[in-house]
Amino acid sequence: MSDFLKLNRDGDVAIVTIDNPPVNALSFHVREPLMKALVGLRDDSSVAAIVIACAGRTFVAGADITEFGKPVQQPDLRAIVAMLETIAKPTVAAIHGTALGGGLELALGCHFRVADAGAKLGLPEVKLGLLPGGGGTVRLPRLVGAVKALKMIVSGAPIGAAEAHAAGLVDAVFEGDLTTHVVNFAREIARKGGPFTPVRDRDEGLGETDLAAFDAEAADLARKARGLEAPIACAQAVRNAVTLPFDEALAAERALFAGLVASDQSRAQRHLFFAEREAAKLPGKDTPKRRIGRVGVIGAGTMGGGIAIAFANGGYPVTLLETSQEALQRGLATIDRNYAVSVSRGSLTEDARRQRLAQFKGSTDYADLTDCDLIVEAVFEDMAVKKEVFGKLDAIARPGAILATNTSYLDINEIAASTLRPQDVLGLHFFSPANVMKLLEIVRAEKTAPDALATVVDLARRIGKVAVVVGVCHGFVGNRMLAARGAESEALLLEGATPRQIDQAFTDFGWPMGPFQMGDLAGLDIGWRNRKARGQTADIADTLCELGRFGQKTGRGFYLYEAGTRTPVPDPEVEALIRDKAAEKGIAPRTIGAAEIIERTLYPLVNEGAKILEEGIAARASDIDVVWVNGYGFPIGKGGPMFWAGLEGAGKIIERLEYWHQRTGKDVFKPAPLLKRMAETGSWEAGATA
Ligand code: T1G
């Protein structure tokens, strides 16, 4: 056989076991022996039934994503599935772990699918900017119906074994030793005798599809696609399954797949898939990690409460500390309300809510943190306050406990230096709401110990966060680049662009919302307070805050918000205020187009990223992409600011930065040397050559 495929017999049942760690991806070195094995078993009269199983932790989790963009080596998945469906004897897929993408499509080529009770099944290709290209868009509807298939394929979300069984995707679900159950299942099926109908011929259910309902559902999903091509193509392919003969629908799927796999959007999304995993890799293999049992959180406000929930949701007991019983009870009540909302939405059971709440201990006494292995402070963003907290932690925390600050901006080296244990100090910069936002910037200070860093990177994955390790500078990676992106905001307004025009340029680019709508959502007073703390001003934003216009929370900010709605309505008062400010400065308004808005916001964003790479604040350009996609909503179809710079053309970016630098003299437009080298070499790697 092969190192990646084993063939065993249990009497007249043949078991083909794929063994391609870590996720049994259908690489060529699996497909080739698999095809040979199946042909042989098809022709072996002593074999009554064929089981396809996988070793390791999961059934096939998909095609091998690293093979995309390279010439396809035959047999491809389609050829294997087509051959499977020529086999008259019963074929059974034994599914455990996550049968995803090409893995589920391989299983759909079998007559039967049997799943372990804990298994998940899905077609997540849309998350890679693709569609199921191995027949999934044509076969899945034949088992679960067109609308359910549409929802599964356009969302990319997997379903559990029980739901799959109820929907007709799997034929049996077992607990315990799956192989034994599957062999008995296969033998029984063979004993009963056929004929065994391949999925391609099981189209009896499709005829009842209500196309109008299907199209309505597809249109609703399309509205949420926000410029991404793959969701639209997925819906079209599933519709073809209903309206076209099987082979025509299959050919149409192949054509749609070919278009997507070559698209910039799919390249961008595949880049992000690997970038997220790369970001969690630290230099030095297998650095030992410290044991984290209980987590302490200091501060039960918005951030502290969210952080506490994030750890409790990850299964960690949490001690929440506040300065007073009143503040503590307020924080605990907010946490309780958060869980109650989840229960009311059906995303959490009442039992789970009680279990989560049982994870919390509240206290106003630092001595109650002595049994914590990680302590995160989320107190007021002021260096003196932070140092006071760390001084107390230094005195009471157990040796080896990791002491983390949630600061967004402050110098963590300075905080660490105020303790006797700088090796245990680092930053955990959560994004609000901390229990929802995926991104976690892990800030390594100069003296942070490698094992402390490795511990929290592993911890981030356990609590469902996307971790990026960053260095110490003002704003680390995300907020420092955000400042660069916003540096020209006021100038653009004063020169004639309205908040709506600027926000529209961003949403047309693919952002979920523009900077002014985002500011109104987050609260303009936050930026106002930061500017005052740093002795900075922003004419228009400061004036709005002085008028008490903090955004949605006050019903007015850059926009107006009718009571109870979040819909931004342009406010003539704000536009008049901007015009008056411009007149005071002798600035004559002019029409400003979307291209200029992008040049004066997103090009400085890329440029600041280049400077961050030069300074070693981020280890990889792809880390910066992971920060911006997971923390700030950068459109996934553009792969993050640094990947997008390659699509946009670094040369074009430099040329326009130099134009604006010459025109405004602002440093934010001065092209970074690494950006120039990227233009020459096409790579962000420092050592790249042309
Ligand atoms: N191809 C290649 N490598 C993969 C891979 C894949 N499909 N899936 C995972 N890996 C690598 C990953 O990069 C990492 O590598 C290691 O495996 C562990 O992954 C024709 C076109 C299965 C839920 O989209 O969702 O089939 O960093 O860290 O957290 O229609 O991996 O160790 O070197 O994520 O336990 C469709 C993608 C493909 C599933 C496991 N399938 N994978 O999560 O481990 S397209 C997918 C996942 C396709 C067909 C189409 C997750 C997982 P390294 P991990 P995990």
Q: pTM here?
A: 0.94
The contacts of residue 436 (CB under 8 Å, 6+ apart) are 306
Query: Contact, 270 vs 347, CB < 8 A?
Result: no
Q: What are phi and psi of 402, to 5 degrees?
A: -90, 130
Ligand 1: residue whose CA is nearest its atom 27:
277
Ligand 1 centre distance from Cα of residue 64 (Å): 8
Q: Where are the domains of the chain?
A: 5-262, 295-475, 497-584
Q: Which atom of ligand 1 is nearest to the CA of 77?
A: 20
Catalytic residue among 32, 67, 125, 680: 125
pLDDT band (50, 70, 90) for residue 676: very high
Q: Which atom of ligand 1 is nearest to the CA of 123?
A: 36
Mean pLDDT of 545-573: 94
Ligand 1 centre distance from Cα of residue 116 (Å): 20
Q: Which of 95, 7, 97, 2 is nearest to 47 (CA)?
A: 7
Ligand 1 centre distance from Cα of residue 322 (Å): 42
Ligand 1 centre distance from Cα of residue 427 (Å): 29
Ligand 1: residue whose CA is nearest its atom 28:
277
Element (H, E) at 361: strand 360-363
pLDDT of 284 over the 80 cut: no
Dihedral (Cα; 186, 190, 194, 200), 10-degree rounding: 30
Mean pLDDT of 326-348: 94
Mean pLDDT of 74-88: 97
Task: Point out the least confidently predicted range of 35-44, 277-286, 547-556, 681-690.
Answer: 681-690
Mean pLDDT of 73-99: 97
Token pair recorded at residue 416: 């660490």
What percent of the chain has pLDDT above 70? 99
Q: Which atom of ligand 1 is nearest to the CA of 57?
A: 35
Token pair recorded at residue 124: 């997540």
Ligand 1 centre distance from Cα of residue 23 (Å): 7
Q: Tell me the Ramachandran region of residue 284: left when phi exceeds 0, alpha when psi lies from -120 to 50, beta otherwise.
A: left
Distance of CA 179 to the CA centre of its chain: 34
Q: How far apart are CA 21 and CA 56, in angstroms?
A: 7
pLDDT band (50, 70, 90) for residue 226: confident
pLDDT of 207 over the 90 cut: no
Q: How far apart are CA 415 and CA 387, in angstroms?
A: 6
Ligand 1: residue whose CA is nearest its atom 38:
62
Q: Which of 575, 578, 502 is nearest to 539 (CA)?
A: 578
Element (H, E) at 635: none
CA–CA distance from 64 to each of 27, 72, 269, 377 (Å)?
A: 5, 11, 15, 42
Q: Which atom of ligand 1 is nearest to the CA of 130?
A: 21
- Return mean pLDDT, the chain: 95
Question: How would you class 566 by CB atoms within 10 Å of its CB: exposed for 0-12, middle for 13-18, buried for 19 or more?
Answer: exposed
Q: How far apart are CA 596 and CA 590, in angstroms?
A: 12
**What tens digit of pLDDT does each residue of 237-254 get?**
999 999 999 999 999 999
Pocket mutation for ligand 1, best pick of 18, 20, 23 (most atoms within 8 Å of C-beta): 23
Q: How far apart are CA 112 and CA 663, in angstroms?
A: 68
**Could you count the other beta carbons within 10 Å of the beta carbon of residue 138?**
30
Q: Which atom of ligand 1 is nearest to the CA of 133?
A: 30
**pLDDT given for residue 531 in this prediction:** 87
**Directed axis angle between helix 230-243 and helix 146-155, to 10°?**
160
Mean pLDDT of 277-306: 92
Catalytic residue among 85, 105, 229, 599: 105
Q: Which atom of ligand 1 is nearest to the CA of 62?
A: 26
Dihedral (Cα; 494, 519, 465, 278), 10-degree rounding: -10
Ligand 1 centre distance from Cα of residue 683 (Å): 25
3-class secondary-structure state, position 15:
strand
Strands (E), 49-154: 49-54, 91-95, 98-100, 112-116, 120-122
Q: Which atom of ligand 1 is nearest to the CA of 128?
A: 24
Ligand 1: residue whose CA is nearest its atom 22:
61
Q: Which of 474, 473, 612 is nearest to 533 (CA)?
A: 474
pLDDT of 685 over the 90 cut: no
Q: What is the DSSP letter of 128?
A: G
Ligand 1: residue whose CA is nearest its atom 42:
61
Ligand 1 centre distance from Cα of residue 563 (Å): 45
**What tens digit of pLDDT does each residue of 378-392 get?**
999 899 999 999 999
Ligand 1 centre distance from Cα of residue 24 (Å): 9
Mean pLDDT of 470-474: 95
Q: Which of 65, 94, 66, 276 is nearest to 177 (CA)?
A: 94
**pLDDT given for residue 690 in this prediction:** 65
Mean pLDDT of 261-280: 96
What is the chain's alpha carbon radius of gyration, rounded to the nearest angstrom?
Answer: 28
pLDDT band (50, 70, 90) for residue 225: confident
Distance of CA 2 to the CA centre of its chain: 36
Ligand 1: residue whose CA is nearest its atom 23:
98
Mean pLDDT of 60-80: 95
HEC profile for 277-326?
Answer: HHHCCCCCCCCCCCCCCCEEEECCCHHHHHHHHHHHHCCCCEEEECCCHH
Element (H, E) at 487: none
Q: Which atom of ligand 1 is nearest to the CA of 22?
A: 17
Q: Name residue 441's beta-bridge partners.
A: 429, 468
Q: Which atom of ligand 1 is nearest to the CA of 58?
A: 22
Q: Name residue 551's beta-bridge partners.
A: 556
**What tens digit of pLDDT does each residue of 145-164 get?**
999 999 999 999 999 999 99
**What tens digit of pLDDT does each residue of 627-642 get?**
999 999 999 999 999 9
Pocket of ligand 1 (CB under 6 A): 22-23, 25, 61-66, 77, 98, 100-102, 105, 124-125, 128, 130, 132-134, 136, 274, 277
Residues comprising the chain, all counted:
690
Instruction: Give catalytic status of residue 562 as yes or no.
Output: no
Ligand 1 centre distance from Cα of residue 76 (Å): 18
First to last CA, the chain: 44
Q: How far apart are CA 445 and CA 428, in angstroms?
A: 11
Ligand 1: residue whose CA is nearest its atom 54:
277
**pLDDT given for residue 593 in this prediction:** 97
Mean pLDDT of 394-404: 97
Instruction: Give catalytic status of residue 441 as yes or no.
Output: no
Ligand 1: residue whose CA is nearest its atom 14:
277
Token pair recorded at residue 117: 């009770």
Ligand 1: residue whose CA is nearest its atom 9:
23
pLDDT of 358 over the 80 cut: yes
**pLDDT given for residue 69 in this prediction:** 84
- In CATH terms, the superfamily for domain 5-262 is 2-enoyl-CoA Hydratase; Chain A, domain 1 (3.90.226.10)
Q: Name residue 292's beta-bridge partners.
A: none
**pLDDT given for residue 687 in this prediction:** 66
Q: How far apart are CA 8 and CA 11, in angstroms?
A: 10
pLDDT of 188 over the 70 cut: yes
Q: Top-level CATH class of 295-475?
A: alpha beta
CA–CA distance from 290 to each of 228, 308, 374, 447 (Å)?
A: 42, 20, 10, 17
Q: How far apart are CA 201 and CA 6, in angstroms?
A: 30
Q: How far apart are CA 275 and CA 643, in angstroms?
A: 11
Taking every pair of Cα atoms in the chain, the longest distance, rounded to a whole number of angstroms, is 92
Query: Contact, 207 vs 146, CB < 8 A?
Result: no
Q: Which of 34, 52, 58, 122 is nearest to 94 (CA)?
A: 52
Ligand 1 centre distance from Cα of residue 404 (Å): 31
Alpha-carbon torsion 546, 537, 540, 530, what sign? negative
Pocket mutation for ligand 1, best pick of 65, 285, 466 (most atoms within 8 Å of C-beta): 65
3-class secondary-structure state, position 556:
strand
Q: How far apart are CA 220 and CA 214, in angstroms?
A: 10
CATH of domain 497-584: 1.10.1040.50
- Whether cis (ω within 30° of 0) applies to the bond prior to 635 is no
Strands (E), 609-675: none
Mean pLDDT of 93-105: 98
**What tens digit of pLDDT does each residue of 662-672 get?**
999 999 999 99
Ligand 1 centre distance from Cα of residue 273 (Å): 8
Query: Contact, 154 vs 222, CB < 8 A?
Result: no
